[in-house]
Structure 1
Amino acid sequence: MPENFLFATWAGGGAVPPVLSVARALRERGHEVRVLSDTSLHEEVAAAGLEPVAWTTAPQGDPADPAKDVIRDFETRTPLGAFARLRDRIVCGPAADYARDTLAELRARPADVLVTEQMLLGALIGAEAAGVPAASLVTTLYPLPTPEGPPPGVGLAPGSGALGRLRDRMLSRLVLMPWAKGLPALNAARAANGLPPVDSVLDAFERADRVLVLSPRALDHPGRRFPAHVRHVGARLDDPSWTGDLHLPEGDAPLVLVGLSSSFMNQGPLLQRIAEALGTLPVRGLLTTGPAVDAATIRAPGNVLVTASAPHNLALRHAAVTITHAGHGTAVKSLAAGVPLVCMPLGRDQGGVARHVQAAGAGITVGKNASPGTIARAVSQVLHEPSYQREARRLSAEIASETATDLAVTELESLTTPAGRQG
């Protein structure tokens, strides 16, 4: 029986395609699906065959345009500063606005389930106030603490023994302390909607009926345990609708695919250094700038083709190495294709993704300020050391097994019944 799903997302760069992928899969199953989102995303929403609905009071942004970016984390000097922008401008600060818009839409056009990108705690508040089951989608590695797990965001493996577990608990408290500044705004939003306060921001994340992690379980720590309502449902591997056609550089030398952030992160200078590095190697380079950087601004050597976009899934069938900022989408698509990586994190969750790729043996990490010579040596290392490709292929097989059935759709459909919500 067709059900009605309301999705909620924001202009969060690489988080958008996996959310829309899940929404599209539900529509293809015959369900009614609409998507609350920034107007800058409406063309992409419509291209996925979905109905776009605009936020009315919640923030509106366009991450491809620095002047219209809501968070503007590229202006900050430290990871803590970037985190504070996300907390205050998306997660907690405007929670009342997101809740108001979500509740208004649910009252105007009721839905059976609300599905939101994880950072939109305000959308979860709206669903809770309306009495509608809710799921949140995690579009990267699970970012919250877990029982006896490592502290989130610092790249450590789980500690062993009593001292290791003590270390993890103490570091987790320190890492999570900055969330406390967002609690007053979050509880004010809850009070405005007749809901009781929560003790912490982390408690608010846990109020979803289901948390679906759109990331390979094999990329996380092997022994990590998760709460019962958190389910790994496999990565979404769809390319964005704006990627266009594939054009490959001429020749038969190994292909190096380059893809940095789809949102603005001051990546222009790094793209230029990568182009210069590839110019010193016997390779072909396909360098995709994304919508935030003008391809014409990159001066490329003869063996490097620069383009605004390309369908990475198709390009990866030809690639030997990917150079990436370690955005979750590009990293996982590369691993799904069995292609090892050179990771150059720019910020956000990218350092964590890069550390997990390196821990899995499927790539190496190079600093974002690395010289062309350093970048070239890293590419040569990954290209010529067989272990990187071997481990990438191992992860490829695990990703293929995990995505053989659409577990995300199964979980969301189950939320339309009382028995499913309890499961």
Structure 2
Amino acid sequence: MRKNFLFAAWAGGGAVPPTLSVVRALRERGHGVRVLGDRSLHDEIAAGGAEPIAWTTAPQIETNDPSADLLKDFEARTPMGAFARLRDRLVCGPAADFARDTLAELRARPADVLVADFSLLGAITAAEAAGVPVAALGTTIYPFSTPGAPPFGPGLRPATGALGRLRDRFLANMIDKPWAKGLPALNAARAANGLPPVDSVIKAFGRVDRFLVLSPRALDYPGRQFPPYVRHVGPRLDDPAWVGKLRLPEGDAPLVLVGLSSTFMNQRALLQRIADALGGLPVRALLTTGLAVDPGTIHAPGNVLVTAAAPHAAVLPHAALTITHAGHGTAVKSLAAGVPLVCVPLGRDQGEVAMRVELAGAGITIRKTASSGTIARAVGRVLHDPSYQRQAQRLATEIAAETATDRAVAELEDLAERASGTPRTLPGRR
């Protein structure tokens, strides 16, 4: 039966393609889909067959233009400073504005389910106020503290022994505490919509009917436990429409794909060091700068082809290695193709993704300040040790099994069906 889904999205770089992949899949199943999102996303939304709707009071976000970027986390001097920008400028600070826009749209045209990026707590608040079932989308590894895993953020190895467990409890407290500064703004948004206050921002993230993790369960820690409303539904592997056509560098040497962030993270100097490193190796490389860096600013040696973007689905079957910032999308698409990684995390969730790649044996991690020589040695190490490719292929097999059916669409359809004619009762929360 046809259902109506309202999505709430923001121009969050790597979060956009998997979100719009779910949008397209629902449209192909015949459902009605409209997307509340930044104007910079409207062409992509329409290309997927959905109806774009602009935020009116919530902030407009543009992550490919550094001067117009709302968060500007690349300006932060510390990880805590970057986190504060996310909390104050997106998650909590403008929660009332996101709630107002979402509730207005739900009242104008009801939806069976609201599907919101998990960071848009304002939109989630609106759905709770309207009594509409809500599914949060997590487009990376599940980002909250749970038993069986170290606290999310620092990119730590799993704890061993009593001291390790003590470390995890202490750090979980330290990592959760800064959210408290966002609680007044979030509770003000809740009060404006007739909802009682919550006693922590972390608990607000759990006020959903489903939290769909668009990440391979195989990539996360085996013993990790999750709340009952969390579902691992597998990654989205299709490319966005703007990546263009396949073009490979000439020759038959091993192909290295280079892909750092699609958003601006001050990565131009690192891209140049990577190009210099590859220039001295017996490889050919396709170096993608992303939309925020001009390809013409990278001085490339003869064996390195530089372009703004490339279709990963077409490139990766030819690749022997990917050098990446460990953004979830590039890392998982590479692993799904059986391609090992050299990870160079720049910030955000990337240290967590890199750690899991390393622990899985499918790649190694180097610092973002690494010299060209260090980068070249890392590339040589992964290319010449077949164990990395074997472990990447192991993960590829597991990811193929996870994505054999569209679990995300199945969960959303099930939620819509269960909600039909049934009063909404939020499940138990953390």
Q: With the length of structure 2 as denominator, give the TM-score of the two structures.
A: 0.96
SS at match of 2:266: coil
3-state DSSP of counterpart to 1:415:
helix
Q: Residue 376 of structure 1 aligns to which amino acid in structure 2?
A: A
Question: What corresponds to 2:70 in structure 1?
Answer: 70
Q: Which amino acid aligns with 1:185?
A: A
- Deviation digits for residues 307-364 of structure 1 (CA, Å, limit 9, x no counterpart): 1111011100100000000000000000000000000011100111111101110000
Q: Which runs of 5+ in 1 are unaligned?
A: none
The residue type equivalent to 1:210 in the other structure is R
Work out whether residues 133 and 419 of structure 2, in 8 Å CA contact, stay in contact via their aligned partners in 1. no
Corresponding residue number in structure 2 for 1:262: 262
Aligned equivalent of 2:154: 154
Mapped partners of 2:187, 2:166: distance in 1: 30
Distance 2:187 2:334 in 1: 40
Q: Specify the alignment match of 1:353 in structure 2.
A: 353
Report the AA paired with residue 371 of structure 1.
S
Whether contact under 8 Å (1:11, 1:62) holds in the other structure is: yes
Over residues 89-138 of structure 1, what are the superposed CA-to-partner deviations in whole Å (9 max), with x where a residue is unaligned? 00000000000000000011110000011100000011111110000000
Q: SS of the residue aligned with 1:316?
A: helix
Q: Secondary structure at the match of 2:34?
A: strand
CA shift, 1:160, in A, is 4.3
| 1:225, distance to aligned residue in structure 2 (A) | 0.7
> Deviation string for 1:364-398 (max 9, x for gaps)?
01111111111011001110100100000000000
SS in 2 for 1:257: strand
Residue 153 (structure 1) shift: 1.6
Name the count of aligned residue pairs.
423
- Conservation of the 8 A alpha-carbon contact between 1:158 and 1:165: no
Question: Is the contact between residue 156 and residue 352 of structure 2 (CA under 8 Å) also seen in structure 1?
Answer: no
How big is the shift at 1:149? Answer: 3.4
Q: CA RMSD in A?
A: 1.3
Structure 1 partner of 2:166: 166
Q: What CA distance in whole angstroms lies between the structure 1 residues aligned with 2:318 and 2:149?
A: 38
Aligned equivalent of 2:33: 33
Matched AA of 1:293: V
Instruction: Say if 1:148 and 1:165, in contact at 8 Å, map to a contact too.
Output: no
Q: Which amino acid aligns with 1:135?
A: A
Alignment correspondent of 2:182: 182
User: What does residue 10 of structure 1 align with?
Assistant: 10
Residue type of the alignment partner of 1:363: G
Q: 1: CA distance between counterparts of 2:59 and 2:340?
A: 37
- Residue equivalent to 1:304: 304
Distance in 1 (CA, whole Å) between partners of 2:168 and 2:412 is 33
Distance 1:334 1:165 in 2: 32
User: In structure 2, what is the equivalent of residue 274 of structure 1?
Assistant: 274
The one-letter code sitting in structure 2 at the alignment partner of 1:71 is L
Residue 246 of structure 1 corresponds to: 246
Report the equivalent of 2:209. Answer: 209
1:107 maps to amino acid:
R
- Which residue identity does 1:274 align to in structure 2? I
- DSSP 3-state at the match of 2:172: helix
Counterpart CA distance in 2 for 1:289 and 1:238 is: 19
SS in 1 for 2:320: strand
C-alpha deviation, 1:417, in angstroms: 2.9
Partner SS state of residue 301, structure 1? coil
- Alignment-derived partner of residue 324 in structure 2: 324
Greater shift after overlay, 163-172 or 364-373? 163-172
After TM superposition, the structure 1 = structure 2 runs for residues 72-87 of structure 1, keeping only pairs within 5 Å, are 72-87=72-87
Give the superposition deviation at 1:281.
Answer: 0.3
- Letter of the structure 1 residue corresponding to residue 74 of structure 2: F
3-state SS of 2:416 partner:
coil
Separation in 2, partners of 1:327, 1:382: 19
Aligned residue type for 2:188? A
Cα 1:203–1:54 shift into 2, 3 Å: same
> For residue 48 of structure 1, what is the aligned residue in structure 2?
48
User: Aligned partners of 2:419, 2:188: CA distance in 1, in Å?
Assistant: 32
Whether the 8 Å contact between 2:291 and 2:308 is mirrored in structure 1 is: yes
Distance 1:375 1:148, change over 3 A: closer
CA distance in 1 between partners of 2:29 and 2:4 (Å)? 12
1:401 is the counterpart of 2:406: no
2:335 counterpart residue number: 335
C-alpha deviation, 1:233, in angstroms: 0.3
**CA positional deviation for 1:419:** 6.9
Amino acid in the other structure paired with 2:233: V
Name the structure 2 match of 1:392: 392
- Distance in 1 separating the partners of 2:307 and 2:170: 46
Which residue type is aligned with residue 64 of structure 1?
N
TM-score, with structure 1 as normaliser: 0.98
The letter of the residue matching 1:249 is: P
Q: How many angstroms apart in 1 are the aligned matches of 2:276 and 2:317? A: 24
- Secondary structure at the aligned position of 1:265 is classed as coil
Whether contact under 8 Å (1:148, 1:168) holds in the other structure is no
Q: Which residue of 1 aligns with 2:127?
A: 127
Give the structure 2 partner of residue 418 of structure 1: 418
Identity of aligned residues (%): 74
* Whole-angstrom CA distance in 2 between matches of 1:328 and 1:48: 22
2:221 is matched with 221
CA contact (8 A) 1:261 1:325 kept: yes
| In 1, Cα distance between equivalents of 2:156 and 2:271 | 29
Aligned to 1:114: 114
Partner deviation per Cα, 1:273-327 (whole Å, 9 max, x = no partner): 1111110000001001111011111110000000111101110010000000000
- Return the alpha-carbon distance in structure 1 between the equivalents of residues 372 and 164 of structure 2: 39
Distance apart, 1:243 and its partner CA: 0.2
- The answer to whether the 8 A contact 2:259-2:289 is kept is yes
Q: 1:163 Cα shift?
A: 4.2
Measure the CA separation in 1 of the matches of 2:136 and 2:170: 27
Q: CA deviation at 1:241?
A: 1.2
Deviation for aligned residue 1:155: 2.5
Alignment correspondent of 2:23: 23
**Partner Cα distance (2:301, 2:159) in 1:** 47
**Cα distance, 1:147 vs. partner?**
3.0
CA positional deviation for 1:45? 1.0
Q: Answer yes or no: is the 8 Å Cα contact 2:320–2:383 preserved in 1.
A: yes
Partner secondary structure for residue 204 of structure 2: helix
Letter of the 1:333 counterpart = K
Name 1:97's counterpart in structure 2.
97
Counterparts of 1:34 and 1:418, CA distance in 2: 21
Query: How far 1:148 moved relative to its partner?
Result: 4.7
Distance, in Å, in 1 between the alignment partners of 2:401 and 2:35 is 29
